[in-house]
Amino acid sequence: MTEVPPADPQLLLPTIRAQAASQQLRVTQHAQQEMTQEQILLDDLLVAISNAQVLENYPEHRRGACCLLYGNDEAGRPIHIVCTTAHPMLIIITVYLPKPPKWLSPTQRRQPQ
């Protein structure tokens, strides 16, 4: 049985932060590869989640409810995290540094042309 994610994306943050703080999380192979490529450590990921905001919420995603978080690591690097929102364990789907051309800024996606 899966939980129903809250309608307000900001209500997701306390649960996500608690799961990350207690390390009730799993990093997918894809996310681990991205973290290695972008030189993002698990500690960087946890710090970013602790100060994250929800940029986009996908409660009806075909693979299950998830969201895009934006937070900064201790060095101030912006980090994007896509994670599940409807499971007792936080599953980190992907992690990356938001960069052009896809992102104009850490919080503004480039519009398709």
E-strand stretches of the chain:
25-27, 53-58, 66-72, 78-84, 90-96, 103-105, 108-109
pTM comes to 0.89
Contact 46/20 with Cβ under 8 angstroms?
yes
Distance CA 96, CA 81 (A): 7
Instruction: Check: CB of residue 35 under 8 Å from CB of residue 95.
Output: yes
| Distance of alpha carbon 75 from alpha carbon 1, whole angstroms | 39
The pLDDT-based confidence of 3 (bands split at 50, 70, 90) is: very low
Higher pLDDT, 3 or 42: 42
Distance of CA 85 to the CA centre of its chain: 10
pLDDT tens string 24-33? 999 999 999 9
